[in-house]
Structure 1
Amino acid sequence: MTHHDDISGKLPQVPEPYWRDLIDLPEFPQLNDDIQVDVVIVGGGITGITSAYLLANEGLKVAVLEAGKLLNGTTGHTTAKVTAQHDLIYDEFIQNFGRSKARLYYEANTDALNFIKQMVDEHQIDCDFSEQDAYIYATTDQYADKLRKEADAYEKIGIEGGLVDSIPFNIKVKNALVMKNQAQFHPIKYLIHLIHKITEKGGLIFEHTTAVNIETGERPTVLTSEGPRVTGSRVLSCSHFPFYEGTGFYSTRMYADRSYILAVKAKKPYPGGMYISADQPIRSLRAATVNGEEMVLIVGESHKTGQGKDTMEHYKALEEFGEQVFGLDDIIYRWSAQDLVTLDKIPYIGKITSDQPNILIATGYRKWGMSNGTAAALLFRDMILGKKSAYESLYTPSRFYAHPSLKNFLVENANVVGHLIKGKLEMPNTRADDLSNDEGAVITVNGHRKGAYKDKDGKLHIVDTTCTHIGCEVEWNSGDRSWDCPCHGSRFSYTGEVIEGPAEKPLQQYDYTMLDNLASDDSGY
Structure 2
Amino acid sequence: MVNKYRQDKLPESPNSYWTNYDELPNFPKLNTDIHVDAVIVGGGITGITTAYLLTNAGLKVALLESDRLLNGTTGHTTAKITAQHDLIYDELIRNIGIDRAGMYYESNMEALNFIKKTIELHEIDCDFSPQDAWLYATTEKYQEKIEKEAIAYEKLNIKGSLVDSIPFGIEVKNALIMSNQAQFHPVKYLTALVKQIISKGAQIFEQTTAVDVETRIQRTVYTSEKFSVTADYILACSHFPFYEGIGLYSARMHAERSYIIAAKSNIKYPGGMYLSADEPKRSLRSVTINDEEMILIGGESHKTGQSEDTLKHYEALEVFGKHHLGLEAISHRWSAQDLITIDKVPYVGKITQGQDRILIATGYRKWGMTNGTHAAILLSDLVLKRKNNYQDLYRPSRFYPIPSIKNLIVQNANVVEQLIKGKLQLSHITTESIANDEAAILTIDGERKGAYKDKEGKIHIVDTTCTHIGCEVDWNRGERSWDCPCHGSRFSYTGVVLEGPAEKPLQKYDYKMIDNLTSDDSGY
Q: Write the letter of the residue equivalent to 1:169.
A: F
Match runs of 1:281-430 below 5 Å: 281-430=280-429
CA distance in 2, matches of 1:123, 1:25: 16
The aligned amino acid for 1:47 is: T
- d(CA) in 2 for partners of 1:464 and 1:344? 34
Cα contact 1:4–1:10 (8 A) shared by 2: no
95-104 or 437-446, which moves further after superposition?
Answer: 437-446
1:23/1:92 Cα in 2 relative to 1: closer, same or farther (>3 Å)?
A: same
Match of 1:470 in 2: 469
Q: Please state how far the C-alpha of 1:429 moved relative to its aligned partner.
A: 2.6
Aligned pair count reads 523
Tell me the residue number matched to 1:255.
254
The alpha carbon displacement at 1:519 in A equals 4.9
Q: Which residue of 2 aligns with 1:28?
A: 27
- How many angstroms apart in 1 are the aligned matches of 2:19 and 2:163? 36
The corresponding residue for 1:187 is 186
Q: Name 1:431's counterpart in structure 2.
A: 430
How many Å apart are 1:444 and its aligned residue? 2.1
Query: Superposition pairs for residues 36-47 of structure 1, below 5 Å?
Result: 36-47=35-46
- Kindly provide the amino acid, as one letter, of the partner of residue 122 in structure 1: L
Work out the CA distance in 2 between the residues paired with 1:113 and 1:450: 46
C-alpha distance in structure 2 between counterparts of 1:219 and 1:192, whole Å: 32
Matched, 1:136 2:135: yes
Alpha-carbon distance between aligned partners in 1 of 2:304 and 2:265, rounded to the nearest angstrom: 29
Contact 1:432/1:452 (<8 A) preserved: yes
What residue is the counterpart of 2:119 in the other structure? 120
What's the offset of the Cα at 1:445?
A: 2.6
Task: Please state how far the C-alpha of 1:446 moved relative to its aligned partner.
Answer: 3.9
Q: Secondary structure, in 3 states, of the residue corresponding to 2:298? A: strand
How far the C-alpha of 1:24 sits from its partner, in A, is: 2.5
Distance in structure 2 (CA, Å) of the matches to 1:323 and 1:217: 59
Superposed displacement of residue 22, structure 1: 4.1
Taking the aligned partners of 2:24 and 2:266, their CA distance within structure 1 comes to: 32
Shift of residue 2, structure 1, vs aligned partner: 10
User: Which residue is equivalent to 2:77?
Assistant: 78
Q: In the alignment, what sits opposite 1:513?
A: 512
Partner of 2:11: 12
For residue 108 of structure 1, what is the aligned residue in structure 2?
Answer: 107
Task: Flag the 1:459–1:164 CA change in 2: closer, same or farther, 3 A.
Answer: same
Q: Secondary structure at the match of 1:413?
A: helix
Unaligned runs of 5+ in 1: none
Distance 2:234 2:323 in 1: 49
| TM-aligned CA distance change 1:489 to 1:363, over 3 Å | same
**Separation of aligned partners in 2, 1:506 and 1:2:** 36
Distance in 1, Cα, partners of 2:490 & 2:294: 30
Stretch of structure 1 that moved more, 311-320 or 22-31: 22-31
Contact 1:2/1:12 (<8 A) preserved: no
Whether the aligned pair in 2 keeps the contact of 1:220 and 1:231 (CA below 8 Å) is yes
CA offset digits 1:176-222 (Å, max 9, x no partner)? 00000000000000000000000010011000111000001574100
Aligned residue for 2:516, secondary structure, equals: helix
The one-letter code matched in structure 2 to 1:54 is L
Letter in 2 for 1:209: T
- 1:476-504 superposed Cα distances (whole Å, 9 cap, x missing partner): 00000000000000000000000000000
What letter corresponds to residue 19 of structure 1 in structure 2? W
RMSD: 1.5
Instruction: Give the TM-score normalised by the residue count of structure 2.
Output: 0.98
Instruction: Check conservation: 2:2, 2:330, Cα contact below 8 A.
Output: no
Residue 198 (1) aligns with residue 192 (2): no
Corresponding residue for 1:91?
90
TM value normalised by structure 1: 0.98
Deviation at 1:518, TM superposition (A): 4.1
Distance verdict in 2 for CA 1:503–1:134, change over 3 Å: same
Partner of 2:154: 155
